[in-house]
Structure 1
Amino acid sequence: MTTAHTDRFADLIAPAGWQAVDFMSDLHLQSGEPETFDTWTRYLRSPASQRGDALFILGDLFEVWIGDDVLSAHATTSAEPLFWRACAAELHAFSAHTPVYFLHGNRDFLLGPAALNACGMHGLSDPTVLAFLGQRWLLSHGDELCLADTDYMRFRAQVRTPEWQRSFLAQPLARREGIARDMRTQSEARKRSTGHDPNLWADVDTAAARDWLQRADAHTLIHGHTHRPATHALGEGGLQRVVLSDWDLRAAPPRAEVLRLDAQGLRRLPLASEPTP
């Protein structure tokens, strides 16, 4: 059986006082999409009674991340660093009263300790098991399980090495911004080749997901990455995977959703509203 090998099943035990937690992923925050930023900040600024006791961001919070030094850079070739600093400020203010946990995605895997600190976030390894409400919930971005996407898996193996990351981060910020633009252009071209239809993209491998759940002693995998929000039964034993929604406030209909886990189970809470004419 083909599997995504990992021996990393870190545990996070929820404090006894938690009654609900929220999950989100794939916001792809960027300055050119202010509608998504505005919807996200409305969530962050909403009354505590309308939010969970903790927020878990399971990757791709940002469209791209080119190094933590963007938060202190003054002269760059784009408006993104100012936008990233605004995002960090919002998160830091939110984290003062609600813990925020972050797990890297395929777009923001270079987000490091300095940025985590600036955002007030606790970093998680991928995957992580959350022990909450008497059960074990397996959390992942999900990209490591998309085994059929062989081109991406090769790319992932390359850019996740310490050697590649040191080499990339050693380059001037302007050069890194240019590389990021080129990568985004290539990604958009790939999307256009499939008509921007996520259903044509490689999905999570069922056998690999079952293997992770069984070895983690968990029954539910919660992940993002695929942009296909749904719940999938994984056969005997009641195993399942729950896919988070991506965020796109310019889509028709617009998408923005939080997944809440509490005593009632898992519930999808839409945050997007139809655009006004």
Structure 2
Amino acid sequence: MKTEIQFISDLHLTWDKPEITQRFLQFLGSRATKAHALYILGDLFDAWVGDDDFSPPNPKIREALKRLSESGTQIYFQQGNRDFLLGDRFCSDTGVALIHDPFVIDLFGVPTLLMHGDLLCTDDLPYQEFRSKSRSPEWQRNVLSKPLFVRLLAARWYRLRSFFHKRKKSQEIMDVNQDTVVRTMLEYHCLRLIHGHTHRPDIHNFEVEGKSAQRYVLSAWTKDKGDVLVWDENGYRIEAV
């Protein structure tokens, strides 16, 4: 019986990063099959312009996810800031279940808060304003009504603009706000938080109202390596992929 739970985020899959795509496909066909559940906490794709996009590497990813879900591993997906337009058709094609952000699970008896992580970066006010707007049904319907080639061109332009905007921002602004972290954990009654987004893998120990708390930050995958956070009844470990 499979019992372990796996967590990954921030693979940023795209046609021009074939090494990461190949590593992820190998992971889905081997290591991930040992998991009872796999949680993908956002930014699986570098850009997702709609479920009608079947340009590479999307078809292979869909097929591999479907095989994994049919093998008995439950796959949960939390939308990130790059793939928040991923929707019901993708889930139907792959067997993946969308979960809200934030989302609480029982992780071997401990309430654990799962987030992509961008909601915690409250010092980045322009991004938070865009995030609020882009999550509205009206905004998304307007974007998805455009022809696919227009959306693909727009995604490339946004990627380029995002690259230059990030160069102008300090690392502190793009990291989580600790007060927001504590406030969010209190709101959801959790002393354990797992998230990605910041590309700053670490395990942070701190206190929430005098109680010990932990924040596990998942790593981003690169062409050279990837990590998966694995949890079982004996605790956690971080495995290189």
Whether 1:248 and 2:222 are equivalent positions in the alignment is yes
Runs of 5+ unmatched residues, structure 2: none
Runs of 5+ unmatched residues, structure 1: 1-16, 72-80, 272-277
For residues 68 and 143 of structure 2, the distance between their equivalents in structure 1, rounded to whole angstroms, comes to 31
* C-alpha deviation, 1:208, in angstroms: 1.5
2:56 aligns to what SS in structure 1?
A: helix
* 2:180 aligned residue: 208
For residues 30 and 141 of structure 2, the distance between their equivalents in structure 1, rounded to whole angstroms, comes to 39
For the aligned residue pairs, the C-alpha RMSD in angstroms reads 1.7
* C-alpha deviation, 1:255, in angstroms: 3.2
Q: Deviations over 1:198-245 (max 9, x none)?
A: 945521111221122222222110000000000112323111211000
Moved over 2 A (4+): 190-194, 198-201
C-alpha contact 1:213 1:239 (8 A) present in aligned 2:
no
* C-alpha deviation, 1:190, in angstroms: 2.6
For residues 187 and 104 of structure 1, the distance between their equivalents in structure 2, rounded to whole angstroms, comes to 18
C-alpha contact 2:103 2:115 (8 A) present in aligned 1:
yes
Map 1:67-78 onto structure 2 (within 5 A).
67-71=50-54
Closer, same or farther: CA 256–201 of 1 in aligned 2, 3 Å: farther
C-alpha contact 2:13 2:20 (8 A) present in aligned 1:
yes
C-alpha contact 1:66 1:169 (8 A) present in aligned 2:
yes
* 2:233 aligned residue: 263
* 2:94 aligned residue: 119
Q: What is the letter of the counterpart of residue 184 of structure 1?
A: R
C-alpha contact 1:210 1:239 (8 A) present in aligned 2:
no
For residues 47 and 67 of structure 1, the distance between their equivalents in structure 2, rounded to whole angstroms, comes to 28
For residues 146 and 109 of structure 2, the distance between their equivalents in structure 1, rounded to whole angstroms, comes to 47
* 2:17 aligned residue: 33
Map 1:177-256 onto structure 2 (within 5 A).
177-193=152-168, 199=171, 202-235=174-207, 236-249=210-223, 254-256=224-226
For residues 166 and 194 of structure 2, the distance between their equivalents in structure 1, rounded to whole angstroms, comes to 24
Q: What is the letter of the counterpart of residue 35 of structure 1?
A: E
Map 1:85-124 onto structure 2 (within 5 A).
85-97=59-71, 98-124=73-99
For residues 210 and 192 of structure 1, the distance between their equivalents in structure 2, rounded to whole angstroms, comes to 28
2:98 aligns to what SS in structure 1?
A: strand
* C-alpha deviation, 1:132, in angstroms: 2.6
For residues 210 and 242 of structure 1, the distance between their equivalents in structure 2, rounded to whole angstroms, comes to 14
Q: What is the letter of the counterpart of residue 175 of structure 1?
A: V
For residues 261 and 141 of structure 1, the distance between their equivalents in structure 2, rounded to whole angstroms, comes to 18
* 1:14 aligned residue: none
* C-alpha deviation, 1:191, in angstroms: 3.8
Map 1:17-166 onto structure 2 (within 5 A).
19-46=3-30, 51-71=34-54, 81-97=55-71, 98-166=73-141
For residues 168 and 190 of structure 2, the distance between their equivalents in structure 1, rounded to whole angstroms, comes to 37
Q: Deviations over 1:152-211 (max 9, x none)?
A: 1111111111111111111111111111111001112234446xxx94552111122112
Identity %: 38
Q: Deviations over 1:34-86 (max 9, x none)?
A: 110111111111166x7321100000000000011114xxxxxxxxx132111
Q: What is the letter of the counterpart of residue 61 of structure 1?
A: L
For residues 173 and 220 of structure 1, the distance between their equivalents in structure 2, rounded to whole angstroms, comes to 40
TM-score (norm 2): 0.93
